[in-house]
Amino acid sequence: MRADARRNYERILGAAGAIVAAHGAQASLEEIARQAGVGSATLHRHFPSRQALLEAVFRDRVEALCAKAHDLANSLDPWPALTTWLRAVGTHATANRGLATAIMSGTPGGDPTLGATCHTMIMDAGDALLVRARRAGSVRPDVTTADLLKLVSAIALAAEPEPDSAADVDRLVTLAIEGVRTRCTGNESAK
């Protein structure tokens, strides 16, 4: 990519990230182009569809979320690593209003593979943490990564209209994840 094309690409991604965070995944493409200082044709040359632009915005954020899972697995015990990551997923969902849904739902005639890579990355990161927590006896055996991500996503969606949605998401995720934890009998303490 030529230097000027690369600069335009980066400016479009930067503007899209900020505008999507403020207005959600249905933000105006024209506004994104205007904020990036490029024409609509330049935006569409780099990103032929809304879905392609959203995936590009989303990918860096997903990579950071997955790196956090890896770091937590290396620095915390299994249960705190899993719960800390799930809270980070909630924060991620709150900050990226509607982004995951827009990518995964696709558009008629769009590329169905868009979003699949990011989804796989998140599932793999969650699976690694969940397996560790399950081996430690901290998580019920019937819980799946998909279950946990659905819970967090539903909470983020429900809290979205709230003025302090990030705090609500964190509090509600904490309540929800207590339901997936194994229960001890007698004088045993939870792991």
CA atoms within 13 A on the CB side of 171: 8
Nearest Cα neighbor of 66 from 1, 11, 9, 122 is: 122
Check whether 30 has a pLDDT greater than 90: yes
CA dihedral sign of residues 44, 35, 26, 154? positive
Phi, psi of 139 (to 5 degrees): -125, 140
Q: Contact at 8 Å (CB) between 190 and 182?
A: yes
Residue 165 has pLDDT above 50, yes or no: yes
* Distance separating alpha carbons of residues 38 and 143, to the nearest angstrom: 47
- Find out whether 90 and 181 touch, Cβ atoms under 8 Å: no
Q: Per-residue confidence at 78, pLDDT binned at 50, 70, 90?
A: very high
Min mean pLDDT across 50-54, 92-96, 111-115, 170-174 is at 111-115
Per-residue pLDDT reduced to its tens digit, 129-148: 999 999 999 999 999 999 99
pLDDT at 14 over 90: yes
The rounded distance, in Å, linking the Cα atoms of 81 and 8 is 38
CB 118 within 8 A of CB 103: yes
Enter the tokens of residue 124.
Answer: 């793999």
Residue pair 55/115 in contact by the 8 Å Cβ criterion? yes
Whole-angstrom distance, CA of residue 81 vs CA of residue 131: 11
Burial of 58 (0-12, 13-18, 19+ CB in 10 A): buried
Which one-letter DSSP state was computed for residue 111?
Answer: -
> pTM for this structure?
0.75
CATH placement of domain 1-47? 1.10.10.60
Query: Is 62:120 a contact under the CB 8 Å cutoff?
Result: no
pLDDT in tens, 97-124: 665 555 455 444 445 555 678 888 999 9
Q: Which fold has domain 50-191?
A: Tetracycline Repressor; domain 2 (1.10.357)
List pLDDT tens digits, range 60-71: 888 999 999 999
Domain range annotation of the chain? 1-47, 50-191
| 78-95 vs 116-135: helix crossing angle, rounded to 10 | 150
> For residue 99, which of 83, 81, 122 has the smallest C-alpha distance?
122
